[in-house]
């Protein structure tokens, strides 16, 4: 399979803490580390693990962190098509003993644009594309792929593009990522609503509905960073491979569970 991601990158600084500090608090980290992240990067790495290689259309900061992010992505089996501009967006992430993560982003999200000098016409040759963040015309270019899965984080772009998506992935727990039927015209083939450890539900364009359960963790809890994006990438891969929706969601759930155990080849602080 040929798989691709269109999206953004963040450089993440992690700190393991006994609890997230409240207003005016001081907490002492028991471990720290940093690595390339953001929804696009996580999805590209997950798809590279599943398919052997993935292609990533993105924008990186034209600074040391942006070029370092490129090197790390390529080392993880990702073929990167990138333009460089501005300052690389960063994020600070607290990780609690439960594995829950709390994120603060720093700087502008660098979304790739259709007028960036990237090989957008190649997208039509891909079996599946995971759309995370870009402009409307980039999404229209991605729609030429066999399967396109998108996140509700970029709902205005999905609405303005006016293309039918194979699946839209939203959250049932986060109001900012909730999808309401009728928001996109034409309606996506599937609306997938996640509920974390509670699994989730799906709605088909023809009115069918279903649910799935979360997958058992294949090891000890690491942290929850990237689990949702790994889930979406797994769903993209499974739908691109021709799996039916129930089987595709079970596969995606296993990808999310693997990420929860730290199985993304990440360097963990100790």
**Across 35-62, average pLDDT:** 97
Supply φ then ψ for residue 36, to 5 degrees: -70, 140
> Residue 266 — very low, low, confident or very high, per pLDDT cuts 50/70/90?
very low
Give the pLDDT of residue 171.
Answer: 85
42's tokens: 């996580």
Give the pLDDT of residue 76.
Answer: 95
124's tokens: 């039509």
**Residues 143-195 pLDDT 10s:** 999 999 999 999 999 999 999 999 999 987 777 778 888 899 999 999 999 99
Return the H-helix or E-strand segment holding 83: strand 78-84
255, HSE (Cβ side, Cα atoms, 13 Å): 28
3's tokens: 């798989």
The larger pLDDT score, comparing residue 250 to residue 267, is at 250
> Residue 262 — very low, low, confident or very high, per pLDDT cuts 50/70/90?
confident
DSSP structure string for 201-239: EEEETTS-EEEEPPPPPSSS----TTHHHHHHHHHHHHH
The CB-based long-range contact list for 246-251 (8 Å cut-off, 24+ gap) reads 246/210, 246/212, 249/192, 249/200, 249/202, 249/210, 249/212, 250/212, 250/215
**Residues 110-136 pLDDT 10s:** 999 999 999 999 999 999 999 999 999
Question: Is the pTM above the cut of 0.85?
Answer: yes
What span, in angstroms and rounded, lies between the C-alpha atoms of 244 and 6?
24
68's tokens: 């370092």
| Chain centroid to CA 19 | 25
**Residues 235-245 pLDDT 10s:** 999 999 999 99
Domains observed in the chain? 3-23+31-260 (3.40.1190.20)
224's tokens: 């929850």
**Residue 177 class from Cβ within 10 Å (0-12 exposed, 13-18 middle, 19+ buried)?**
middle
Taking residue 200's Cβ as centre, other Cβ atoms within 10 Å add up to 23
Indicate whether 269 pLDDT > 80.
Answer: no
What span, in angstroms and rounded, lies between the C-alpha atoms of 91 and 248?
31
């Amino acid at each position: 399979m040929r798989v691709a991601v269109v999206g953004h990158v963040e450089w993440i600084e992690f700190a393991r803490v006994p609890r997230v500090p409240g207003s005016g608090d001081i907490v002492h980290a028991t471990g720290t580390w940093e690595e390339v992240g953001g929804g696009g990067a996580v999805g590209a790495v997950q798809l590279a693990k599943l398919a052997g290689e993935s292609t990533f259309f993105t924008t990186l900061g034209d600074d040391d962190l942006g070029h370092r992010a490129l090197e790390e992505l390529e080392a993880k089996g990702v073929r990167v098509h990138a333009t460089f501009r501005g300052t690389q967006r960063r994020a600070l992430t607290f990780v609690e003993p439960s594995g829950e993560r709390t994120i603060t982003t720093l700087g502008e999200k660098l979304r790739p644009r259709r007028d960036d000098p990237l090989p957008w016409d190649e997208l039509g040759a891909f079996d599946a594309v995971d759309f995370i963040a870009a402009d409307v015309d980039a999404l229209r270019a991605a729609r030429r792929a066999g399967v396109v899965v998108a996140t509700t984080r970029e709902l205005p772009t999905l609405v303005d593009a006016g293309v039918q998506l194979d699946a839209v992935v939203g959250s049932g727990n986060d109001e900012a990522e909730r999808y309401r039927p009728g928001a996109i015209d034409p309606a996506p083939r599937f609306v997938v609503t996640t509920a974390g450890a509670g699994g989730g539900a799906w709605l088909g364009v023809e009115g069918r509905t279903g649910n799935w359960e979360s997958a058992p963790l294949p090891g000890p809890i690491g942290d929850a960073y990237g689990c949702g994006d790994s889930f979406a990438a797994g769903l993209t891969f499974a739908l691109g491979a021709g799996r039916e929706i129930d089987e595709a969601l079970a596969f995606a759930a296993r990808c999310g569970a693997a990420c929860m155990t730290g199985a993304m080849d990440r360097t963990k602080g100790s």
